[in-house]
Structure 1
Amino acid sequence: MQTTAAPRRLTGIDAARGVALFGMMSTHILPLYAPGSTTATWTALVFSGRASGLFAVIAGIGLALLTGGRSPHRDRTLSADRTGIAVRALLIALTGLILGGVETNIAIILFHYGVLFLLALPFVGLRLRALAAWTVGWLVLAPVAAYLLRPVVTAGVDPPTLGGNPVFDHFLVPQTLAADIMLTGYYPALQWLGFILVGLVIGRLDLRRLPVQLGLLGGGVAAAIGAKLLSAQLLGAGGLAAILGTPDGARYPLEAMLDVGLAGIDQSGSWWWLAVSAPHSGSSLDLVHVSGAAAAVVAVCLLLTRRIPQALLPLSAPGAMTLTLYSLHICVMSWADQLTPLPDPLQLFWLQLAAAVAVGILFQRVGSRGPLELIASGAANAARDGRIEARR
């Protein structure tokens, strides 16, 4: 999650990461449906699926910056970069496994992030043109592959999903673990790798240039709106009726869930499932919409910090230590969910947001990074430098 390394830190990227952190916190704390109804709340409409996708896109940007930015590293340097990324990925995944043992109803994303970092290793050496071609192909074809593979995997793996967050014990059922992480779980890596690739493409651009920032904003808004409009057209032309006739389409209040998320829904029985753009549906239109929204958020943050790097300090300071703050958030939510009576969600959200901002600014003022960031970066840099030294 904390992956950016550059000669002069782009605080706009940190600020966008802060938006993602607070967006994910809001979906964990605040209701996604209005009480007693199936009407989506503003939290769901703004952040559901988009906040976690924004995290993944920014992770890809960070990987691009770590491996040379506009000029991807080559040969020994690239090999050393990959070693450092692999170590970082393993530590993030380890953190996710530890947090998986915490009693919580939150779908913890860290183990999946570690896997995504490892899956991205073959792509970090590609130049912009080749990387863009891979990205477009992945966004289009990965959801099709997932649609075809899910029934096969579901029929051949028992059980086909973990039913919760990954923990160490799940390595005793490797087929189920692999199926859940890649295809059947909350953050299927087969489709989510597309977000990492989008981030890699963005990170290969000259993000300090105004035309690039404006282009990201315009292109991101166009992609996000265009994906939603196309989905609405397809569903109105018969797609919605078709998916409402599938087993899970008939079982759940699907029309309401299209605004909130399709995690846990069996999207089989009709190719029209690929026409939805609902959060956590994993369709091409969902991936394009979330990627476009993420690009627009990154662009806005870069534009607002262009002349005054600290202009978004309440976002960029906590955004520079999201691995630590996200982990603390999971622990706090586990504790809060066991209180009687349960705390007021809105108060709990603002308290955690204020605490995250205060902690982030404090660490920045003393010139330090978060403790988990220090561990992950220190180990990754040591592995990278050791690889370079070994080759001399």
Structure 2
Amino acid sequence: MTSRGMATTTRTARTKAAAPRLAGVDAARGLALLGMMATHVLPTFEADAQLTPTWVGLAFSGRAAALFAVLAGIGLALSTGKERPLEGSELWAARRGVALRALVVGAVGLSLGGLEVNIAVILVNYALLFLCVLPFLGLRAKRLWALAAAWLLATPVLAYLLRPWLLAAEPPLRLGHNPGWEDLATPARLLGDLFLTGYYPVLQWLAYLLIGLAIGRLALAKAAVPWLLLAAGTVAAVIAKWLSVVLMEDWGGRAALQEQVGDPAYPLASLLQVNLAGIDQSGSVWWLASSAPHSGTTLDLLHTAGVAAAVVGFCLLLGRLADWVQLDLLLPLRGAGALTLSLYTAHVCLMASLHGHPLPAGWSTEGVYWAQAVAALVIGGVFAAQAWRGPLEWVGHGANQLGRGRWARTR
């Protein structure tokens, strides 16, 4: 065999070996998209006096968005050297590419911020997370795990100390709405909201990207790694939730916090299960013992990151199973996962068009969700089968290539 033929065979073998791993990661991203859409469309609380959590709130609230963020870190690791991070000029080129792609995502997010919609749009925070993680792209797995552990422990405490100071400012450094282009005129308020006082606080959420980077730096093609992610993620998620229950119920944390909340219209037992966003988590260190979704505490971050790791491991195993049976079972899901920016944007625009208007005759909120979910899977399957990029993915890819200095070679 000629050297050219050997090189072609080697590239083919590498591509085949990598396919299940990449398919699993995209499938997990597709699950994250469907989960986030569910929390946007379907109720997370029952319409009763106790605000009883629905299955959607219990299953997806906080976890779907965290999975989305962890997968962002994994994607960055896969595009910057996998187990061996890029170095020198290649690393700097990769950082420029990530930064330009983040600007595209941020621009889309700021544009969506002008819509009237009952959704906390994540894209501006997502873009800022990409920019904040740039200094860590050259680190190997061991350092990333150590840094992620320190971030999990330290930043929730720092946020707890800083939030009251930011909210005491006049006006408070909190937007109370999705970031839009007009908020660039008040940068202190915008940055305060994005980093600490908003729905997706970047200060704590950077832990998700660090964990994702560390996962992406593992040898994901090895047989044991998906099992390790599934087992370790499950253990971490269970321990975090168990410890929070002990602190809240057995040690009196929930009773102390209920006095802080005061308003009986917001039963703390339900909020701790579904969502603490919008609750003023100050005045008691017991807030740091919660694992409630969107509380941004150590136990919340550990639980949701553990769930994300377990889901990624499970999807990687499904990808290998699909490869073994020679049937692309994950095609629609991984296709949707490869189109998340375009599909998420279309979802927000559709929900904005429905906001404040009665649903068409014969439609229900469940119908609206399932119609969008099925459409996402069908569109994703078609695009994946044809190896097409989504429209916004194409723009983001072009920005990334431009930053890396490859635009002229890829046009």
Match of residue 337 from structure 1: 355
Is the partner of 1:266 in helix, strand or coil? coil
The one-character-per-residue Cα deviations of 1:18-73 (angstroms, maximum 9, x if unpaired) are 00000000000001112324110000000000000000000000011111010000
| Residues 183-194 of structure 1 mapped to structure 2, 5 A cutoff | 183-194=196-207
Mapped pair 1:368 → 2:391:
no
- Pairwise CA distance, 1:336: 2.0
Mapped pair 1:324 → 2:365:
no
Distance in 2, Cα, partners of 1:234 & 1:249: 22
| % identical aligned pairs | 49
Question: Which residue identity is paired with 1:14?
Answer: D
Stretches of 4+ aligned residues off by more than 3 angstroms: 6-9, 247-251, 386-389
The one-character-per-residue Cα deviations of 1:299-342 (angstroms, maximum 9, x if unpaired) are 00000111424222231111111000000000111112243246
| One of 184, 195, 211 as aligned partner of 1:171 | 184
| One of 281, 291, 298 as aligned partner of 2:312 | 298
Mapped pair 1:258 → 2:238:
no
Mapped pair 1:131 → 2:144:
yes
Question: Which residue identity is paired with 1:145?
Answer: L
- Pairwise CA distance, 1:361: 1.1
- Pairwise CA distance, 1:202: 0.4
**Equivalent residues of 2:124, 2:179 under 8 A apart:** yes
| Residues 195-344 of structure 1 mapped to structure 2, 5 A cutoff | 195-236=208-249, 237-247=251-261, 252-309=266-323, 310-341=328-359, 343-344=363-364
Distance 1:250 1:142, change over 3 A: farther
Question: Which residue identity is paired with 1:288?
Answer: L
Distance in 2, Cα, partners of 1:362 & 1:87: 28
- Pairwise CA distance, 1:289: 0.2
Is the partner of 1:258 in helix, strand or coil? helix
Is the partner of 2:404 in helix, strand or coil? helix
- Pairwise CA distance, 1:251: 6.9
The one-character-per-residue Cα deviations of 1:156-182 (angstroms, maximum 9, x if unpaired) are 351321110000110111111011000
Distance in 2, Cα, partners of 1:231 & 1:299: 25
- Pairwise CA distance, 1:367: 2.0
Is the partner of 2:105 in helix, strand or coil? helix
Match of residue 3 from structure 1: none
Distance 1:388 1:150, change over 3 A: farther
Mapped pair 1:22 → 2:34:
yes
Distance in 2, Cα, partners of 1:347 & 1:379: 37
Q: TM-score, normalised by structure 1?
A: 0.94
Distance 1:187 1:249, change over 3 A: farther
Distance in 1, Cα, partners of 2:48 & 2:216: 43
Match of residue 77 from structure 1: 90
Distance 1:235 1:249, change over 3 A: farther
- Pairwise CA distance, 1:388: 12
Structure 2: 5+ residue runs without aligned partners?
A: 1-13
Question: Which residue identity is paired with 2:305?
Answer: S
Distance in 1, Cα, partners of 2:135 & 2:179: 25
Distance in 2, Cα, partners of 1:250 & 1:232: 21
Is the partner of 1:156 in helix, strand or coil? coil
Distance 1:249 1:283, change over 3 A: farther
Question: Which residue identity is paired with 1:302?
Answer: L
Distance in 2, Cα, partners of 1:242 & 1:143: 19
Distance in 1, Cα, partners of 2:59 & 2:116: 27
Is the partner of 2:252 in helix, strand or coil? helix
The one-character-per-residue Cα deviations of 1:49-98 (angstroms, maximum 9, x if unpaired) are 00000000000000111110100000100000000000011110000001
Higher mean C-alpha displacement, 156-165 vs 336-345: 336-345
Distance in 1, Cα, partners of 2:372 & 2:26: 18
Is the partner of 2:48 in helix, strand or coil? coil
Distance in 1, Cα, partners of 2:183 & 2:102: 18
Distance 1:341 1:58, change over 3 A: closer
Q: TM-score, normalised by structure 2?
A: 0.90
Distance 1:388 1:152, change over 3 A: farther
Distance in 1, Cα, partners of 2:131 & 2:216: 18
**Equivalent residues of 1:48, 1:260 under 8 A apart:** yes
Is the partner of 2:53 in helix, strand or coil? coil
Question: Which residue identity is paired with 1:330?
Answer: V
Structure 1: 5+ residue runs without aligned partners?
A: 1-5
Distance in 2, Cα, partners of 1:357 & 1:347: 15
